[in-house]
Every structure is written in C-alpha cells, then in structure tokens.
Structure 1
Amino acid sequence: MRWSLTPSVWVHRSGSTCASSRAPWSRWTRRTAASRACASADRVSQMPRVIGAAREKSRLTKEEWREYTKTVWQIANTTHAEHPAVFPVEIPHRLIKLFSWHGETVLDPFAGTGTTAAAAVPLGRKVLCIEQNRKYVDIIRRDCSHLKNGNLTAIELMNVVHGDSRDISFIDDDSVSLIVSSPPYWNKADYGSARANLGRVAGYRRFLDKIKPVFEECFRVLQPGRKCCLVTANVNQHTDQGLLTFPLAADFGTLLRNIGFMMVSEIIWSKDGTGGRWGSANAQRPIFGSYPYPPNFLFKNVHEYILIFSKPPARKSRGPKVVPYDELMADARRRR
C-alpha cells in the first residue's frame, strides 16, 4: 500500500494489501489525544469525556444549539457541475458539531465530491472519505487540499480511499467516532461506471441487498454509543403501475435496525424555495393528466430526510415510563 501526503490517498481495492492491513489506519487514528481517549474499550460506551482545549473547540453557541436541535432544517439546496447529487456543506457541518469532538474521526463511506470532508477539516476533525469513482477522488483532493483548522492542514486531517465501502476491513473495529454520509439514490443518478456503483443496481430489493454490507461495515467500525447520520430521500419511479414512490428512507431505517443500529431521531431537510436540483420546488414541473383530476400527478419534492442512528449501548433513558428496547424490538430481531 502506498501513502501520499498531498493530501493522503489510500488506493484501496478488494484483495489489496490495504484491505488486510490495519496498521497505517491505527497509526493515523492515534495521532491525537481525543482519538487515543476513544480507543480504549472501557471508554467508548458513550460520548467520551473531553476536557480542556478539545472541549472548548467543540463548543456550540446558544444560537447554534437552538437551531441545530430543531427537527426541521431549512437549508438551501446546492449543485455540483461534476456530480449528479450533492448535499450542502451546512448539513455535515451541523451534524459534526452536534455529535463529535475536536480531533475525533468522521467517516463518509459514500464520499462523492467531499462534502463531509469540506465540513470536517475546518472543524478540526479527522475525516476518512471512501469513494468508488476515481474522478471524484481527484475532485476531493483538488477542492479540499487547501482546507485547514488552525495549524492542522488537510494533510494531517484528511484521508481519501479509492475503493468499495462494502470492504473496509483495513479500519479497526470501534475506531470511528461519527459517520455522516448520503447513500446513493436508487436508480436516480449516474454515479459513474465503476462496479462498486450501487446506484446503478436495477431492482429495488436487490439495491437494498447490495448496500447492506456497507452499513454492516459501518456498524463494525463505529464506536458504541456513537452516531451514524444518513442524508436520503424517498424516490419516484415510473412503473407499469404508474408513477410510484419507493420508501427508500423508511427502508434504510428498517435495514439499519436489523443490522443492530437504533434509530434515535430524524430531521427533515426542507428545500422549499431554496432553488437548485434534486427536490427544489422551483426546478420541478408537476405532471398532469386530465385537469382537474390528473392521474399521474407528482407532488413537488421539497424535502429529504436526515436519519440519525446510534450503535448500542447508547446512554440509557431514566424516565418513569421506560419500556425495554430489547422487548420492543424482539419481533424484528426474530425476523432477521
């Protein structure tokens, strides 16, 4: 395996030495005190105690706390000339500030053009980007190499892997503090011709089966009690039964729960009137049939979902009417 410092790029393919060796990853994640504090098994059952400079650098203002803890985020949509489906940097910026500490490691298994990296590096987080399209890997290097946090540059804080997120065996178990990503929208965008491009899978159920190993790997590498945040949306498809909505966001929720994640919250990303592609009301034209009863009417899609999952054991509720989670999920686990 070769290591580059401009910024670091791990050329990772299944069966390569990168897939079988975790030593470089371990060295990288141990460089900061915050990462070392999270590495020990007896300290990762919940959000680690962070003191001193790391805590101060991670602090949210009252205004940020008030805005970020709302369940609807009104954020302008964005586009990219070289990628068919991107999301605004403000989304990972908020999630990273909410769910991680300065110096910790953030993983994006579907890195695209590096939106998560663009948010993580200025906040002083280490970020590992995994992307199956070499073109997008080069874009991340081009667009993010100038970013820094104080004296820390992208060289120290960012690593980019060209590879398939279904095999990230080079990453240690329980070594990632936060996952922020936007999985591919099934059958809606051209993410390239690479074999690892899951967005091109034809059948909906087959798509869910193909993407499941990615989330299983995410579950393995995420520290217990920490968060996995996914930006996604339901998708519309023309079928022989008409124009139908496939509940991708809901099915992702079921898929991750069956793997072992617990869903702790969801945020509505509202794009109404913000412009741009992929859901802007201003950019969509309703599909009508015979007025006033259009048989193929398409609602204007002006929202997406930010699904927030936690890897057990999470911090336990101590309310007076607590229902055991294992009891509630017993039926779901028997179906696995």
Structure 2
Amino acid sequence: MSISNFKKDKKIRSLAPKDFKEETTTVWSFKQRGDWATHSGVYRGNWSPYIPRNVILKYSKPGEIVLDYFCGAGTTAVEAKLLGRKCIALDINDKAIELAKKNLDFNLNGLFDQIYEPELLIGDARDLSFIKDNSIDLICAHPPYANIIHYTDHKEGDLSFYDIDGFLNEMTKVAKESYRVLKPGRQCAILIGDLRRHKHIVPLGFKLINIYLNAGFRLKELVIKRQHNCKTTGFWYKNSIKYNFLLLAHEYLPIFEKPKELLSSKEDYTSYDKNVSLSIETCNCRKTLKEMETTTVWILPKKEYINFLNKNIIKRYATGKKYKIVNLSFSSYKNFKWEKVEKEDLSLLLIYSSIFENFDISKDDIKNYLSKGVELIDMLTPFLNKTGHVVIKLKDLRIDSYIIPVAKLFVDSISNDFLKLKEIIIITKDEEIKDFHKDNQEKDLKINHEYLLVYEKVK
C-alpha cells in the first residue's frame, strides 16, 4: 500500500479519548473510530484505537512490553506510548513502518516520568527469532484478512496476498512464535473477521482460534467487535431481503492466554455419551415485524428478546409455511419422531438449547450437547425441503475462568454433506449494551452475546 499521498494529521488536540471507560462485556461497539493523538482511518484496514487501548489497560502494566507484529500505521504502538508501555512493533511493509514513525512523532508533555519510545522494525511475524523466549508481556495485533486488502506490491511473505488455506498455514507459524515469546500466564489478543465466499460464510475467525489453541494457548475471552460502517437502508436493505444475505458487521477479538503450566492434552469435545431430551415448542409471533435485521449483529429489545428473535428468524429463513422449534435440554433421551411431518416438508428447523441457562454446566455437559446436537441435525435434515434452513442458537460459556467457545465447537463438529454454513449471527440485548459500561473490579468480561448458526440445505 502506497503512503506517498499521506499527509501528517491535523494538530493533536488531545492525548486520550473523551469520557473513556474500559469495556466490561464481550460486545465492544465504538460508534466513532477514535481520532485522539495521531490516530486516523487513512490507512485502510487499521483497527480502532479503542481496541488496543482496552487490551493494553486490562492485560498489562506501565513499563511492560507490548508486541504488535502487524504494525500497519502504528495504532497499537501509539497507544502503548500514550499508556506508558514499552512496545516492539514490526511490519513486513517498509512503507507502513515509515508511516508509523510519523504517527509516533509527538510529545507527551510530561505525562509520564519515564517515556518509552516504541521500537519499530521491518520484519516478519512468522520469524521472531530476534525476541527471546518468554520475554513479552502482551501481544496485541490485527492481521490482514485472507486476500482482501493488499498492503504491498506483492512483497514475498506478505500475508495479505494469501488465500484462506495459505493464510491459515502461515498464521500457524505466527501462533507458534507468539507462544514462544510470550511469558507464561500472559495474554495475546488477535482481531479477525469472517469472510463470505459463494454466498456462504467462511468461519475464518473460528479457524484462526483453532490455530492458536493448537499452538498451546487457552481462550481467556472471546470478544465480539461490532462494525458500524454497514448501511442497512435503501439499496442494501432491499438486496439483503431479496437475495437473503446479511452484511458482515462483526469481528472476533479472541484473547488467548499462555498457560503457566504445560497442558497435559488437548480437550476433545466431539463426542460424549450422555442423555438429553428434545421437545417441540410453539412460537408466539402475534405482532408483525416492521423491519428485518440485515446485518450479522442483531441488537434486540430486552423486553421482547425472544419474540423479536423468532420473528426475524422465521420471516427470513422459513421460506415455506411449515417450520419447527426444538429445544434441547438435559433429562432422559428418547427416540424422537416427527408427527404429521413428511420428509422434505419443513422450511426451517430452529434449535434452542435450555441447557445453557444452567449455571452449573460442566465440560461433560458440553460434550454431551455437541454429540446429541449433531446427531439431532443429521437425523432431521431429511425433513427439510430443498431450500430449507437449520438455525441453532448457542452461547459461549466460562468454566474455570476460561471460555469454552461452544459455537466454534459446534461448527467444528458439523460434517453433514447436505448442509452448508450460510451465516454466523451475533445476537445481544440493547439494554445490556448500555447498562454494563460501568466501573467494576471484575477480572473477567461479562458474556452478553449469543450466536445463531444458520445452515442452508444444498443437496
């Protein structure tokens, strides 16, 4: 990406965002990108400075070392300097490093007794051999997405030119190096989004989470970053309805932690023999839906959450008159048979899971749910018509202070040749977005998002 046309930003008016409060929930939503200090959105694809500011404040202390191996225009490095942290920032693009140096050319005017100027380097995230083992306090980085925006003139090793499989293979090397240089017990935050190919979702975020987990990390938090640049009126609204697709409006910010002790083995969530029960529920959709949701983030009224959720799902995905709502809960499992429903007769199968309302849910319960949930979908797929959809409502869980990414695990477990992942939708309640931006001393973020996994019958 050329920086020849970039000019130095306007005179610095402030060194911090106005009325800033640290995020306390798992949905981060910044209506303004942030323009304090030298921050701007001129460099395509750079992330909002609110993200590294929150991560740095929560997971590091003044004087500690922050590493960003996808430096770009230097957003993380600027925040590290503003917050009194040391920083090592590198990028394979020499022109990006030039721009980052310009963005870091400002004075802190006695804000700290000790000022730490970030160390900017031209380098490759896959080779951090110049950094010692167990020496970094925090990693905070935003990689280029697979073959979306190109940042160099096809420089060798530029990950922005790799397509999905190649990108993930190279990120495997980045994850291994991240694990090596990070101190035990410390965190690594990576922002990543999903892609759409051939009208279906490629769960790039979940795939990248797997890579870092396979490298030895544990998942400390899974934050949803909401996008605010998705227009949902006029042209986009009409086409979202006409062609039945949602505008991608979310990214993932998984925050990994390097265990203080080596993990004995990787946990397997793919099968577990325990019983669950199934029940058919009805939908109360008395009121008409004035406007449908058209992005992958649905912020619904708290008072009528399920009602609005059902109406949006049914109106968009129940292409025929017949649909079923099924609830999975724990108790004795019985062979389940549809009554008065023929094969290839349903337009929608909506699966809720009351098991996630239990506060004492265990890892064994999750294994149980995944096994029986996949079994249920395989069993009921033949009842879907040729344009039918399966929608599964799920939520992440926290067990022993770590996140169990249930939606990701479910996607990993599905291997049904007749279904293809169409959408990953994030759902949350409007009042929870507003109410939990308060000062608190909680170490963990409040999980206030759920998922809808939307599968489409393709055979």
* TM tier relative to shorter chain: 0.5 to 0.7
Listed as ranges, the matches of 1:17-96 within 5 Å are 64=21, 67-76=22-31, 78=33, 80-81=41-42, 83-96=43-56
AA partner of residue 309 (structure 1): F
Q: Deviations over 1:264-306 (max 9, x none)?
A: 211111234xx4xxxx3369963977x9652xx4312222111
Take 2:241 and 2:41, find their aligned partners in 1: how far apart are those partners? 37
Take 1:151 and 1:196, find their aligned partners in 2: how far apart are those partners? 40
User: In the alignment, which residue of structure 1 is the partner of 2:83?
Assistant: 123
Take 2:217 and 2:167, find their aligned partners in 1: how far apart are those partners? 20
* Shift in CA distance, 265/187, structure 1 to aligned 2, threshold 3 Å: same
Tell whether the 8 Å contact from 1:118 to 1:147 is kept in structure 2 after alignment.
no
> Are residue 207 (structure 1) and residue 167 (structure 2) matched?
yes
Listed as ranges, the matches of 1:1-336 within 5 Å are 64=21, 67-76=22-31, 78=33, 80-81=41-42, 83-148=43-108, 149-153=111-115, 156-193=116-153, 194-202=155-163, 204-237=164-197, 242-272=198-228, 275=229, 280-281=230-231, 286=236, 293-294=242-243, 297-313=244-260
Take 1:285 and 1:92, find their aligned partners in 2: how far apart are those partners? 34
Q: Give 1 or 2 for the bigger CA radius of gyration.
A: 2
Higher strand residue share: 2
Give the TM-score normalised by the residue count of structure 2: 0.49
* Shift in CA distance, 251/147, structure 1 to aligned 2, threshold 3 Å: farther
State the Cα distance separating 1:236 from its structure 2 match: 1.8
State the Cα distance separating 1:70 from its structure 2 match: 0.8
Take 1:132 and 1:284, find their aligned partners in 2: how far apart are those partners? 40
Tell whether the 8 Å contact from 1:124 to 1:157 is kept in structure 2 after alignment.
no
AA partner of residue 258 (structure 2): K
Give the TM-score normalised by the residue count of structure 1: 0.65
SS of residue paired to 1:281: coil
State the Cα distance separating 1:84 from its structure 2 match: 2.1
Take 2:105 and 2:114, find their aligned partners in 1: how far apart are those partners? 12
Take 1:206 and 1:166, find their aligned partners in 2: how far apart are those partners? 13
Take 1:128 and 1:285, find their aligned partners in 2: how far apart are those partners? 44
Tell whether the 8 Å contact from 2:88 to 2:118 is kept in structure 1 after alignment.
yes
Take 1:144 and 1:173, find their aligned partners in 2: how far apart are those partners? 27
* Shift in CA distance, 304/84, structure 1 to aligned 2, threshold 3 Å: same
User: In the alignment, which residue of structure 2 is the partner of 1:17?
Assistant: none
Tell whether the 8 Å contact from 1:76 to 1:88 is kept in structure 2 after alignment.
no
Q: CA RMSD in A?
A: 3.0
Take 1:322 and 1:116, find their aligned partners in 2: how far apart are those partners? 37
AA partner of residue 218 (structure 1): S
User: In the alignment, which residue of structure 2 is the partner of 1:3?
Assistant: none
Take 2:235 and 2:148, find their aligned partners in 1: how far apart are those partners? 17
Take 1:88 and 1:221, find their aligned partners in 2: how far apart are those partners? 25
SS of residue paired to 1:286: helix
Percent identity over paired residues = 28
State the Cα distance separating 1:151 from its structure 2 match: 4.1
Deviates more, 1:173-182 or 1:193-202: 193-202
Give the number of aligned pairs: 243
Q: Deviations over 1:305-335 (max 9, x none)?
A: 1111000127x9xx9988699xx9xxx9xxx
* Shift in CA distance, 160/301, structure 1 to aligned 2, threshold 3 Å: same
Give unmatched runs, 5+ long, in structure 2: 1-19, 34-39, 264-358, 364-398, 410-459
State the Cα distance separating 1:129 from its structure 2 match: 0.4
* Shift in CA distance, 321/167, structure 1 to aligned 2, threshold 3 Å: same
AA partner of residue 199 (structure 1): S
Give unmatched runs, 5+ long, in structure 1: 1-62
